[in-house]
Chain A
C-alpha cells in the first residue's frame, strides 16, 4: 500500500465508522437478496438488470425523473433527521406531502397568482404547500405536548386522513376536481397554469430537472449547519437526550417538540409542492403514495447525517425509477423495491445492538 493510498484512507476515515459501514452493508445485503428474489420468481437477472439501468441512467429523461423523486425523498428525510434529533419519529411524511400538494394545487389554480410578476406565481403556491405541511405536522406536535400522544401513532393517523382528504379533493367537483363535462371526466384537478410550473434548469423537457434541485441542495446545507453548528441543533439534541435536564438548562421541551415537528412537516409539505408544481402539474389521487415511507427510510438509513440523507435519497430515487422500468420491461413487480427497503430497515434496527447505538 503506497503512502498516497494511506493518506487518502485517513482522509476518508468517516466512511469507516461502524455506523456508516453497517448502513452500507445493509444496503448491499438487501440488494443481493433482491437479485436472488428476481432469480427466484423466474426472471432473467440480466434482463432485469438491463431494464433497471435503462430506467435509471438510460436517458436524460430517466435521470431527471430519478432526481425529481430523490428531491422529495431528501426533503422528507432531512425533516425526519431534524425531528429525530429531538428523539421524535415523524412517520407522517406521506400525509404532509399530500396536504402540501393539495395546497399548492389550490393556490396555483384558484389563488389568482398566475399573472403576478416573475417568480411569484410558483413561489406563493410553494409557500402554501410548506405552510400546509407545517400545520399538518404541528397537530401531532400539539397533541404530543398537551396530552402526551405518541407522535408515531398521531402522524400515522394524520397520514391516513390526509390521503383520504386528497381523494375527497379530486373526487368532489366542489373542491378541486376539474369541471365534469362527461361521465368519463377523470377524478383529477385541472392542469395548473404554465406560469405556476417550476422553471426547468435547462429549459428543455427532455431533461426536466427543475429549480427544486438547487433549492433542495440549499435546504440540505442549511439543515446540516442547523444540526451541527447552531444553538438550535444543540437544543434539539439536549431535549432528545434528556428532557428534564434540558428544561433545567432553560430549554423548553414543548417549544422544541413543536418546532422540530413543524420543520419536518414544512419540508414534507414543500416536497409535495415541488412534486406537484415541478413534474405532476395535475393533482391526482395517490400521487404521494409511497413517497413518505421512502423519505422516512432515507432518514433512518442516514443515521442522523444530512449527507447520509442525500446519499440514501439518491439511492432510493434511482431504485424506484429502475424498479418501475423493471416492472414494465422485465415483469418484475415494483413491490420488490419495498422488500429491499423493509430488509434494510430491519437489518439496521437489529444491527444497532452490535455497534451499541440506536438508529
Chain B
C-alpha cells in the first residue's frame, strides 16, 4: 500500500465514521442519563431527510442543516415523552418510531422529489484547517473534510468536558445510575432525561445531515441502513465511556471504508462480506470482545417519583 492510498483510507475512514461519532455521542449521553434511545436510526433518517429537503428548497445547505435539526425536535420530544412521562417500554417505542420515520420519509421523498430523484442537492462546503491541510500527501486526503466534521469534533470535546468536569455531567451520570439518590439530592431526573434524549436527537440530526448533504449530496430511501444501530453498538463496545465510544465508531468507520479500498488494492474479497463487516464487527464487539457489560444501572427503566 502506498502512502497516497493509506492517506485516502484514513480520510475515508474518518468521513464514514462521522455519522456514527455524532450519533454515538448523542446516544451515550442519553444512555448515561438512563434512557435507552433505540430511535437513533429514525432520528438520523429524519435529520438526513429534513436537511436534504431544506437544502434543496432554499439552495442553502446551512439552512438545510438547520431544518434537519428542527425536523428531529418533534421525534425526540415524542421519544422523551413516551419513555419518561408515559413510562413506555423504551425498546418498543424506538422500534415504532423507526418504522414510522422510515415510512414517512419514504413517502415524503416520493412526494417531494418524485421524478427528480437523481438531482444533486447543494451540499455543505469542505474546509481544511491551516497547517494540517498543508501536510504533503495527508493534508488533502485526510484533513480536507466537510466543515460539519470539525464542528462535530468540537461538540464531542465539549461533551467530554461537560460529562467529566461539571455538575451537569455528574447529574447526568446520577440520573442513569442512581435515579432515586439523584432525586433526593435535588436533581430532576425527568428533566435530565428529557435533556439527554433531546441532545441525542440533536446529534442524530447532525449525523443524518452529514449523510445526506455532507457526504453524498442526495437523499435515498432508508439511507441510514442501520447506522443508528451501529452507533448503539459502539456505545456498548465503548463500555459507556466517551473515549471508548469514539474509538469504536472509528473502528466501524474503518471497516466500512475497507469496502471501497480493498478492491482498488486488488484484494479479492466478496463485496457482500465487506458490506457485512461493520455489522459483524459490531456483533463481535457487543458479544464479548468488550468483556462483561457495565451499563448504567437504571438504563431503560422509567423513573417513578414517589
Residues of A within 8 A of B (CB): 37, 41, 89, 91, 143, 146-150, 152-154, 156-158, 160-161, 164-165, 167-168, 171-172, 293, 296-297, 300, 333, 335-346, 348-350, 352-353, 358-359
Closest to B86 in A: A353
Partner of A147, one of B101, B111, B288: B288
Contacts of B110 in A (CB 8 A): 333, 335
Is B276's CB within 8 Å of the partner chain A? Answer: yes
Contacts of A164 in B (CB 8 A): 272-273, 275-276, 279
Contacts of A143 in B (CB 8 A): 286-288
Residues of B within 8 A of A (CB): 38, 78, 81-82, 86-89, 91-93, 95-104, 106-107, 110-111, 221, 226, 229, 232-233, 236, 270-273, 275-276, 279-280, 282-283, 286-288, 291-293
Interchain CA distance A152-B92 in the complex, whole Å: 10
List 27 A-B residue pairs with CB atoms under 8 Å apart, sorted by A's residue number: A143-B286, A149-B286, A150-B236, A156-B226, A157-B229, A157-B282, A157-B286, A161-B280, A164-B273, A171-B270, A171-B271, A171-B272, A172-B270, A172-B272, A297-B99, A335-B106, A335-B107, A337-B103, A338-B99, A340-B103, A341-B99, A346-B82, A349-B89, A349-B92, A350-B81, A350-B88, A353-B87
B283 touches A158 (CB 8 A): yes
Partner of B279, one of A89, A157, A340: A157
With contacts A153-B286, A338-B99 taken as known, whether A333 is within 8 angstroms of B106 at the C-beta atoms is yes
A41 touches B107 (CB 8 A): yes
Closest to B110 in A: A333
B103 touches A359 (CB 8 A): no
Interchain CA distance A63-B266 in the complex, whole Å: 51
A354 CB to closest chain B CB (Å) equals 8
Contacts of B96 in A (CB 8 A): 342-346, 348-349
Partner of B89, one of A158, A340, A342, A358: A358
Interchain CA distance A337-B91 in the complex, whole Å: 21
Partner of B270, one of A146, A148, A168, A359: A168
Interchain CA distance A146-B290 in the complex, whole Å: 12
The 5 closest A-B pairs by CB, nearest first: A342-B100, A338-B103, A345-B96, A168-B272, A335-B106
B238 CB to closest chain A CB (Å) equals 13
B95 touches A345 (CB 8 A): yes
Contacts of A358 in B (CB 8 A): 88-89
Contacts of B291 in A (CB 8 A): 147
Closest to B107 in A: A335
With contacts A293-B99, A335-B110, A349-B93 taken as known, whether A160 is within 8 angstroms of B279 at the C-beta atoms is yes
Contacts of A89 in B (CB 8 A): 91-92
B270 touches A156 (CB 8 A): no
Contacts of A293 in B (CB 8 A): 95, 99
| Most chain B CB within a 10 A radius of its CB, from A148, A167, A300, A349 | A349
Closest to A37 in B: B107
Interchain CA distance A167-B86 in the complex, whole Å: 41
With contacts A165-B276, A346-B93 taken as known, whether A333 is within 8 angstroms of B99 at the C-beta atoms is no
With contacts A172-B270, A336-B103 taken as known, whether A152 is within 8 angstroms of B287 at the C-beta atoms is no
A259 CB to closest chain B CB (Å) equals 19
Partner of A157, one of B81, B98, B233: B233
B293 touches A148 (CB 8 A): yes
Contacts of B86 in A (CB 8 A): 349-350, 352-353
Contacts of B106 in A (CB 8 A): 333, 335, 338
Interchain CA distance A10-B53 in the complex, whole Å: 54
Contacts of B89 in A (CB 8 A): 349, 352, 358-359
B262 CB to closest chain A CB (Å) equals 15
B53 CB to closest chain A CB (Å) equals 15
A140 CB to closest chain B CB (Å) equals 9
A341 CB to closest chain B CB (Å) equals 5
B103 touches A335 (CB 8 A): yes
B224 CB to closest chain A CB (Å) equals 12
Contacts of A91 in B (CB 8 A): 91, 95
Interchain CA distance A24-B102 in the complex, whole Å: 23
B229 touches A160 (CB 8 A): yes
Contacts of B272 in A (CB 8 A): 164-165, 167-168, 171-172
Contacts of A352 in B (CB 8 A): 86-89
Contacts of B282 in A (CB 8 A): 157
B82 touches A341 (CB 8 A): no
Contacts of B111 in A (CB 8 A): 41
- 4 additional A-B pairs beyond A158-B283, A345-B99, A345-B100, beta carbons within 8 Å, are A293-B95, A296-B95, A339-B107, A349-B96
Interchain CA distance A170-B292 in the complex, whole Å: 37
B32 CB to closest chain A CB (Å) equals 16
B74 CB to closest chain A CB (Å) equals 12
Contacts of B236 in A (CB 8 A): 149-150, 153
Partner of A336, one of B82, B92, B107, B275: B107
Interchain CA distance A343-B82 in the complex, whole Å: 13
With contacts A300-B92, A349-B93, A352-B89 taken as known, whether A149 is within 8 angstroms of B287 at the C-beta atoms is yes
Closest to B88 in A: A349
Closest to A171 in B: B272
Interchain CA distance A335-B273 in the complex, whole Å: 29
B100 touches A339 (CB 8 A): yes
Partner of A345, one of B92, B104, B288: B92
Contacts of B92 in A (CB 8 A): 89, 300, 345, 348-349, 359
A147 touches B292 (CB 8 A): yes
B235 CB to closest chain A CB (Å) equals 10
Contacts of B232 in A (CB 8 A): 153
B229 touches A156 (CB 8 A): yes
Contacts of A147 in B (CB 8 A): 287-288, 291-293
